[in-house]
Amino acid sequence: MNRIAWLLLAFLLPLAAAAGPAAPAAHPPGAAVASAHHLATEAGIEILRQGGNAFDAAVAVSGVLSVVEPISSGLGGGGMWLLHDGKTGRDVFVDGRETAPAAATPDKFLDARGDLDPQRAQNGPWSAGIPGLPALLVHVAEKYGRLPLRQSLAPAIRIAREGFPVYARMARGYAAKRQVMDRYPGTRAVFSPNGKPIREGQVFRQPDLAATLERLAAQGFDGFYRGTTARHLVAGVNAAGGQWTLDELAGYRVREREPIHFRYHDWTITTAPLPSSGGIALAQMLQILAPYDLEAMPEAERVHMVVESMRRAFRDRTFYLGDPDFVKIPQRLLLSPDYAAGLRAGIDPDKATPSDLLSGQPTPLEDEETTHFSIIDADGNRVAATQTVNLLFGSGLIPPGTGVLLNDEMDDFALKPGTPNAFGVMGYEANAPKPGKRMLSSMTPTFMESRDKVVALGTPGGSRIITMVLLGILGYDAGLDAQQVAALPRYHHQWLPDVIDAEPGAISAQAAQALQAMGHRIDLPPDEAAGGRGSSHVWGNLQTVEWDRRANALRGGSDPRNPEGKATVLAQP
């Protein structure tokens, strides 16, 4: 080839490459929001249209969820948000988890015989930790947002004042918790206005909550943790028989933490660090599973390996995990691929490992609450946010004059060592309550990144959050899109009780038989029971967004189990 031909080739080759398969896009073509309530998703979109970034939109979505989903989360609870800054590439985990009040020592939760009193742990003033979500909102707005807090919280204030229609899930939850909620005058005033309990379809207004949100929007941290709101909160808790102080509220602090990062196949996974157990458990499970081609395995073999990874991660959760500001945790060991290899080596490919060989007590499974939303904006900023008041309507207690329904997060501590909490998980010294300590969580807001795709996902569901996020990651890895991942049928194992719980369609009857022959106990829905005990429930409310960088397309996935949820893609914010 002569000199001119070489020069031509050198000039044409880059052009040919550019015309070939599209290079991954550098920026998303718009924004996407997925949340558990359409009003919250719409508020996020409204704020993006006003020039807000993903972090402002997150404040708006969270604020509206606090108003329209009191069953799941709110200003009286806490949250764990994972943020990605599109410009710097930095990920940060913002920990707005509740803290234990100084007076809430373990003896306060025991009955006369020394047994755990679930009533005290799950209802009323002693069950509530010092709220973290308001401080989290202020922190994210001030440090990462573009808009003032009062602009991002405006949709929440408007909806609290003007009201929204009570939906079926909220009405059902209220019917289930009403007996507790009716004990407290502040709660009765909100949920039984004029002495009439709320009903499905009725417009539900919360003027006190609107005023509390306004003080927060105008004064930031001090608008909730000092002054009028703080005085009402302390007075209301103490009048109901609890013991909070103004100093405890004023002393609450959000923590920024380094997220957990690890590799799974072509993905970098970024997820929740302690005091959530989710990230460590996820890393253990996925590092156990990494060498297998799960998609190529027969169904029973695949479920067996996934369940065995779940069993081992939940066993370690029980013994080792708690608030890292208070206890020393062997995190480096638990996250190491070598440790995962050791756990993998202990799995018999043909036989279930009985959980009692890994030691422990059988425990019941209960229901699940909490909420999650996912956002990505046109600058590549991302939010995966999970927030909660713990169980259905939290503690059931609204301190009069605040509209703030307090959490019952104290139940997430190991209040009596080795005794299961409402989610059937238990703990020991690492998760014992101490003044100011954060209770261990399962919230697992997560990002996935490959050359071709960026994903944010998460879900409510107590201890099942972790296994739902695991199955979501496996779904994306198998090539599913956001909506397919949100809809995936689920199964769950948490070491104890030693049983696989499965949704309809999650495990075929044939695979269930094979798993039973391997020694697994399976709780299948009745129509697929094949001899199992039967369970008709479904669980979770997964909300996810994905940016396909090859097609430069955004997609959202909102869990079809929840009719109020909504995922929206905004082409040009």
Q: Residues interacting with ligand GLY, by CB under 6 A?
A: 370, 388, 390, 409, 412, 441-443, 462
Nearer to ligand GLY, 238 or 419 (CB): 419
Contact of 53 with 139, CB cutoff 8 Å:
no
Contact of 56 with 147, CB cutoff 8 Å:
yes
Of 49, 144, 69, which Cα lies nearest the Cα of 371? 69
Nearer to ligand GLY, 370 or 494 (CB): 370
Least distance CB 230 / ligand GLY (angstroms):
24
Eight-class DSSP state of 108? G
- Compute how many other C-beta atoms are within 10 angstroms of the C-beta atom of residue 346: 12
Least distance CB 545 / ligand GLY (angstroms):
22
Q: How far apart are CA 166 and CA 163, in angstroms?
A: 9
Eight-class DSSP state of 555? E
Q: How many CA atoms lie within 13 A of 449 on its CB side?
A: 14
Nearer to ligand GLY, 314 or 547 (CB): 314
Nearer to ligand GLY, 47 or 422 (CB): 422
Phi, psi of 168 (to 5 degrees): -60, -45
Q: Is 542 helix (H, G, I), strand (E, B) or coil?
A: coil
Least distance CB 388 / ligand GLY (angstroms):
5
Nearer to ligand GLY, 252 or 267 (CB): 252
Buried b (16+ CB within 10 A) or exposed e, 285-315: bbbbbbebebeeeeebbbbbbbbbbbbbbbb
Nearest residue to the partner ligand GLY, using Cβ: 441
Least distance CB 390 / ligand GLY (angstroms):
4
Nearer to ligand GLY, 190 or 443 (CB): 443
Least distance CB 167 / ligand GLY (angstroms):
22
Q: How far is CA 230 from the centre of its chain?
A: 27
Nearer to ligand GLY, 129 or 223 (CB): 129
Least distance CB 245 / ligand GLY (angstroms):
24
Least distance CB 425 / ligand GLY (angstroms):
9
Q: How far apart are CA 217 and CA 563, in angstroms?
A: 30
Phi, psi of 474 (to 5 degrees): -65, -35
Least distance CB 412 / ligand GLY (angstroms):
5
First to last CA, the chain: 52
CA distance readout (Å), 280 to 109, 137, 263, 310, 438: 28, 25, 13, 12, 17
Least distance CB 35 / ligand GLY (angstroms):
18
Contact of 177 with 392, CB cutoff 8 Å:
yes
569: β partners = 32
457: β partners = 446, 544
Contact of 56 with 377, CB cutoff 8 Å:
no
- Compute how many other C-beta atoms are within 10 angstroms of the C-beta atom of residue 162: 11
Contact of 257 with 96, CB cutoff 8 Å:
no
Phi, psi of 5 (to 5 degrees): -60, -45
Eight-class DSSP state of 524? -
Least distance CB 441 / ligand GLY (angstroms):
3
Q: Is 533 helix (H, G, I), strand (E, B) or coil?
A: coil
Nearer to ligand GLY, 353 or 421 (CB): 421
CA distance readout (Å), 390 to 77, 356, 377, 406: 8, 29, 29, 10
Active site residue 370: yes
Nearer to ligand GLY, 392 or 500 (CB): 392
**Of the residues 370, 371, 459, 544, which is catalytic?**
370
- Compute how many other C-beta atoms are within 10 angstroms of the C-beta atom of residue 221: 18
Nearer to ligand GLY, 170 or 443 (CB): 443
Q: How many CA atoms lie within 13 A of 205 on its CB side?
A: 7
Burial of 176 (0-12, 13-18, 19+ CB in 10 A): middle
The residues annotated as belonging to the active site are 370
